[in-house]
Amino acid sequence: MDESGKAMVFSKIGEPLLLKEFKLPKLKKGEVLVKIKNCTLCKSDLHTFLGRRPGPTPSVLGHEIVGEIYDLPTHEEALDYNGAQLQKGDLITWALAVSCGKCNHCQKGFPQKCDQLQKYGHLPVHEGHQFNGGLAEFIHLKSGTTLFKLKPEIPTAFLSPLNCSFATVKAALRISGSIENKNVFVFGAGMLGVLAVAMLQEKGANKITIVDPSSYRLGIAEKFGADKILQWKKNEATIEKFVKDQLNNEKFDIILETSGSSKAIDASIQIMDVGAQLILVGSVFPVKDFQINAEKILRNLWQIKGVHN
C-alpha cells in the first residue's frame, strides 16, 4: 500500500482549511521529500487567506518551513547550497522560490523574478505535486530548489522564518550598503521590523528608531537593540503628523518600511536626510499609490529600493 500524508487545504477565501490526505509522490531526479517539523505563518499567508492578495485555490499555505529529509531519489547525491552532503534525517530549510536559471531575469541576477517562478506555499494543488506548502505533514521539493542544511541543536521554531523574514531583512540590509554609524528609522515592529533592529544593531548602526502602534511589539524591539521606540496611537494623529511631531525635524540615512502602509511611506519621505535610502519590504499586497517630488529626489540624492521574494 502506498504511503500517504495529510495537508490542510485552502479552498476558499475566509473559509476553514480542509484536512485532506494525499499519496506521497514518487520522486524524480533532483527532488526531495521532507517531513515537516515546523512551519510558522507569514503575514502574506493571512493576506491570501483573507483575500487581500491573489492566491490560487486549492492550495497549501505556508512557506516558512523546516523539516527532516524523508526520502531522496535512489543512488543520487544531494548537496546543499554550501556543498554539504545531504542524507535522510538531515534537518534542512530551502529557498521559498524556485527559478529556472536560464530566463532573462535569472541571467540578469534576479532569479526571484524568474519567468517560470514557483513559490512554495503559493502554488495550486495538482496531481503529482499536492505537497507544496507548509501546513502539511510533508513537502515535495522540486528539482532546482536551493537547500540549506541546518544545525539540529537550534530549536526549529527559531529556524522556520530563515527563508522568508530573515532572508528579506538580510536582503534589505545588503542593498543598503554599509550600516555602520548610520541613523536608521524602521516603520513597523512586526517580525521584519524586530529582526531588522537586531541585525542593524549587530552591524553597528549609530541610532535605531522604530515606530509601531503596539507597546508589546515595541518592547520586544527595544530588547533587540532599538535606541528609541515610538508608539503611534492611530486615533490620535495620522502617522505623518505623529512622526513629524515626535522627531522634531530629525533626519535619517536609511528608512526601512516593513508595514506595507502607503501612509508610512508618505511619512518616510519627510525624514530622509541628504543621500538617504528608502527600502520598501512590506508592500506585498495591493496598496495605494504614494507621491514624491522628482526634484526632491534629485537634489537630495535619494534612492528608493524594493525587496521581494
pLDDT digits (tens, 9 = 90+) for 73-108: 988 889 999 999 999 999 999 999 999 999 999 999
Angle at 270 between CA 265 and CA 273, to 5 degrees: 110
pLDDT score for 1: 39
CATH number of domain containing 254 = 3.40.50.720
Is residue 164 over pLDDT 90? yes
d(CA 36, CA 134): 7
Please check whether residues 170 and 279 belong to one and the same domain. Answer: yes
Tell how far CA 293 is from the center of its chain.
30
Q: Which residue has the cell 505533514?
A: 137
Strand 32-40 vs strand 64-71: parallel, antiparallel, or unpaired? antiparallel
Please check whether residues 216 and 75 belong to one and the same domain. Answer: no
Is residue 153 over pLDDT 80? yes
d(CA 169, CA 192): 6
Q: In the listed set 107, 141, 162, which residue is the last one of a domain according to the structure? A: 162
Is residue 28 over pLDDT 90? yes
pLDDT score for 235: 82
Please check whether residues 92 and 10 belong to one and the same domain. Answer: yes
Give the pTM.
Answer: 0.90
Q: What average pLDDT score do residues 2-17 get? A: 94
* Mean pLDDT, the chain, integer: 94
Please check whether residues 156 and 26 belong to one and the same domain. Answer: yes
Q: What average pLDDT score do residues 257-274 get? A: 93
Range of the domain at 199: 166-306
Please check whether residues 145 and 214 belong to one and the same domain. Answer: no
Is residue 278 over pLDDT 70? yes
Please check whether residues 22 and 127 belong to one and the same domain. Answer: yes
Q: What average pLDDT score do residues 11-35 get? A: 95
pLDDT score for 2: 64
Q: Please state, in angstroms and as integers, the Cα–Cα distance from residue 136 to each residue in 2, 6, 90, following that order.
A: 18, 6, 19
Query: Hey, what amino acid is at 306?
Result: G
Q: What percent of the chain has pLDDT over 70?
A: 99
Q: In the listed set 129, 147, 162, which residue is the last one of a domain according to the structure? A: 162
d(CA 214, CA 230): 10
Please check whether residues 138 and 108 belong to one and the same domain. Answer: yes
Contact 61, 134 (CB under 8 A): yes
Positions of E strands within the chain: 4-9, 18-23, 32-40, 64-71, 78-79, 85-86, 91-94, 97-98, 118-119, 138-141, 147-149, 183-187, 207-212, 228-231, 252-257, 272-280, 303-306
Is residue 212 over pLDDT 50? yes
60 dihedral zone (left: phi>0; alpha: psi -120 to 50; beta): beta
Domains of the chain: total: 2
| pLDDT tens profile 32-80 | 999 999 999 998 899 899 998 888 999 999 999 999 999 999 888 899 9
CATH number of domain containing 143 = 3.90.180.10
In angstroms, what is the C-alpha Rg of the chain? Answer: 21
Please check whether residues 134 and 57 belong to one and the same domain. Answer: yes
Q: What percent of the chain has pLDDT over 90?
A: 87
Q: In the listed set 162, 180, 211, which residue is the last one of a domain according to the structure? A: 162
Contact 257, 282 (CB under 8 A): yes
